[in-house]
Amino acid sequence: MKELEVFGQRLRNARIMKGLSMDELCSLMNSSISKMAISKYERGDLSPNSNILIKFSEALGQPVDYFFRPFSLQISDIQFRKKSKLSVKQANSIKETIADSIEKYLNIEEICNSTTEFEKPNWEVSTPNDAKKYALELRQKWQIGSDGILNLVSLLEENGIKVLIIDADMSFDGLSTIVNNTYPVIVLNEKFTSERNRFTAAHELGHIMLSFAEGIEQKEKERLCNAFASEFLIPSDALIEELGNRRTSISIMELEHLQKQYGISKDALIYKAKENNVISQSLFESCMKRKNAQLQFKEIMESTVYPKETSDRFQSLVYRALNSGMISESKASALLNIPQGDLRRANSVI
């Protein structure tokens, strides 16, 4: 791909990531560049001068180097699995953000010779019990035991699954996809609580790991992945050991203790307790009715106590490459999308 074509595609990608139309980008730049000119730049028909480059960089929040970074890998096939409440513009913005992040992630893995291989098991499910069985098998395979998973994001990345945590509209819960039929990716929304993101991540892990029996509809697939996620985060035997059998009441303190230990919400714990006959259906329904009727109780049930998890592997690889002389400061700055001054401050070495 020629340099002007690279610039044009990068400009278009950056504009879509920002969720901007050509008209909106033109307005953001105080009409210093016309819509027609932007169109020509994106088609690779017009070469930008340094002044134009700086204006695009400032308007789109990308370093100048970004616009000429060669495409080392074409990212395709990023699909939303289920019907989304996002607008087309929001969905396209998220897709471009994912594509850009994965391209950079794979690039730095190649530079550092640090690719983590992913192995998809041959697990076909048709019932919730199947999903739970394979959740426990995965715990065994990944040597977790029955304890709480301290950092789920790190665990996923150690096992070849890329995790992106992005700033998105609240209507975006998360997604999973296999990029180019090779690289499994889970995308989470940083606006949500840690407990919600952990359950979403475990649910999306189910979609990546499991195969579904022929004829199973999408709604049932979601239910099976919920069963997988719940069992993966806190095995039923562990829940019963903690709470006992046939309880007529459970205290908030007990739920919060499990919430801190396993990183799963009180709502999910109550539902799992009902599923495992620790509490009755009527007690579960009573709890839900109280939650809907009493704002203070609702706030207590939905409060977060588990610390936020971050995806640090990509950043660690960039700093490793920089300090080992494998990449320049300029490239590190472009990969991390931060100014070189901020990079130097963050990269104070011992």
**pLDDT tens-digit profile of 180-211?**
778 899 999 999 999 999 999 999 999 999 99
The predicted structure's pLDDT at residue 178: 83
Q: Based on the domain organization, do 228 and 136 belong to the same domain? A: yes
Residues 6+ apart with CB under 8 A from 188: 163, 164, 165, 166, 174, 197, 200, 201
Q: Which of 158, 149, 262, 164 has its CA nearest to residue 204?
A: 164
pLDDT at 350: 66
Smallest CA-to-CA distance from 208 within 232, 189, 190 is with 232
Least reliable range by pLDDT among 4-8, 306-310, 345-349? 345-349
- Residue 316 parent element (H or E): helix 313-323
Identify which has the larger pLDDT, 318 or 118: 318
- Residue 95: inside a domain, yes or no? no
Q: Are residues 282 and 341 in the same domain?
A: no
Q: Which residue has the tokens 């799992």?
A: 272
**What is the model's pLDDT at position 83?**
54
Q: Give the range of the structural domain holding residue 26, as residue numbers without chain letter.
A: 1-71
Q: Tens digits of per-residue pLDDT, 219-258?
A: 999 999 999 999 999 999 999 999 999 999 999 999 999 9
Same domain, 142 and 256: yes
Asked whether residue 293 falls in the same domain as residue 324, the answer is: no
pLDDT of residue 52: 93
What pLDDT, on the 0 to 100 scale, is given for residue 12? Answer: 94
pLDDT tens, residue by residue, 162-183: 999 998 888 888 888 888 778 8
pTM score, whole prediction: 0.88
Confidence of residue 73 (pLDDT cuts 50, 70, 90): low
Angstrom distance (rounded) from CA 120 to CA 174: 21
282 and 335 both lie in a single domain: no
